[in-house]
A = this chain, B = another copy of it.
Amino acid sequence: MYEILNKINGPEDVKKLNNEELEVLASDIRDALFNRLTKFGGHFGPNFGMVEAEIAMHYVFNSPVDKFVFDVSHQSYPHKIITGRRLGYTDENHFHEDSGYTNPDESEHDFFNVGHTSTSISLASGLAKARDLKGDEENIIAVIGDGSLSGGEALEGLDFVGSELNSNFIIIVNDNEQAIAENHGGLYKNLAELRATNGQASNNLFKAMGLDYIYEPNGNDIQRMIKVLQSVKDINHPVVVHTNTVKGKGYKLAEENREAWHWSVPFDKETGKPTISFGSGEDYTSLTAKYIMEKAKKDSNFVVITPAMPGTGGLNPTLRAELGKQYIDVGIAEEHAIAMASGIAKNGGKPLVVTNATFMQRAYDQISQDVCINNNAITIVLNYSSFDGLTDVTHLGIFGISAFSNIPNLIVLSPSSKEEYLNMLDWSVDQKEHPVLILMPGNEVTDRPADKEYGTVKYKVEQSGEKVAILALGDFYQRGEILAKEIESKLGFKPTLVNPRYANGLDKDLLIKLADSHKVILTLEDGILNGGFGEKVASFLGIKDVKVKNYGLNREFYDRYNPEELLDELGITSEKIINDIKDLV
Contacts and interface: CB of A to CB of B under 8 A. Distances in A.
Interface of A: 67, 69, 104, 111-116, 119, 122-134, 150-153, 155-164, 184-190, 202-205, 207-211, 300-301, 303, 325-326, 328, 330-331, 333, 335-336, 339-349, 351, 359, 361-362, 364-366, 368-370, 372-374, 393-394, 399, 402-403, 405-409, 504, 528-531, 534-536, 538-539, 541-543, 547-550, 555-557, 584
B534 A539 contact: yes
A516 to B, nearest CB: 15
A111 to B, nearest CB: 6
B160 A333 contact: yes
A151 B152 contact: yes
Contacts of A69: 343
A577 to B, nearest CB: 13
A116 B205 CA distance: 26
B150 A156 contact: yes
A549 B152 CA distance: 41
A523 to B, nearest CB: 9
27 contacts: A104-B374, A112-B374, A122-B336, A126-B341, A126-B345, A130-B301, A130-B343, A130-B348, A134-B301, A151-B152, A152-B152, A156-B330, A157-B340, A159-B333, A160-B336, A160-B340, A190-B208, A361-B368, A364-B364, A369-B394, A402-B531, A407-B555, A408-B557, A531-B531, A539-B548, A543-B548, A543-B549
Contacts of A127: 343-344, 346-347
A349 B152 contact: no
B122 A340 contact: yes
B123 A339 contact: yes
A208 B301 CA distance: 32
Contacts of A393: 373
A539 B531 contact: no
Contact of A344 (B130, B151, B351, B584): B130
A548 B548 CA distance: 12
Contact of A160 (B122, B303, B330, B361): B330
A123 to B, nearest CB: 5
Contacts of A115: 369
B131 A347 contact: yes
Contacts of A335: 122, 152-153, 156
A40 to B, nearest CB: 23
A184 to B, nearest CB: 6
A343 B210 contact: no
- Stoichiometry, as copies per complex, reads 2
B409 A402 contact: no
Contacts of A325: 132-133
A207 B205 CA distance: 8
B373 A113 contact: yes
Given A116-B369, A129-B328, A187-B162, A530 B203 contact: no
A343 B129 contact: yes
B543 A539 contact: no
Nearest to A211: B186
A542 B543 CA distance: 10
A372 B393 CA distance: 11
Contacts of A190: 208-210
Contacts of A112: 342-343, 346, 370, 374
B368 A123 contact: no
A184 B160 contact: yes
A398 to B, nearest CB: 10
Nearest to A189: B210
Given A122-B340, A542-B548, A159 B185 contact: yes
For A158, A184, A188, A343, which residue has the most chain B Cβ atoms within 10 angstroms?
A343
A160 B186 contact: yes
A230 to B, nearest CB: 24
A158 to B, nearest CB: 7
Contacts of A549: 542-543
B339 A159 contact: no
Given A112-B374, A369-B115, A152 B156 contact: yes
Contacts of A364: 361-362, 364-365, 403
B406 A129 contact: no
Contact of A207 (B162, B203, B534, B547): B203
A340 B153 CA distance: 10
Given A160-B333, A203-B203, 6 more contacts: A69-B343, A123-B340, A156-B330, A186-B209, A530-B531, A538-B538
A133 B342 contact: no
A157 B408 contact: no
B160 A326 contact: no
Nearest to A410: B555
A439 B223 CA distance: 53
A431 to B, nearest CB: 16
B373 A123 contact: no
A120 B369 CA distance: 12
A182 B137 CA distance: 29
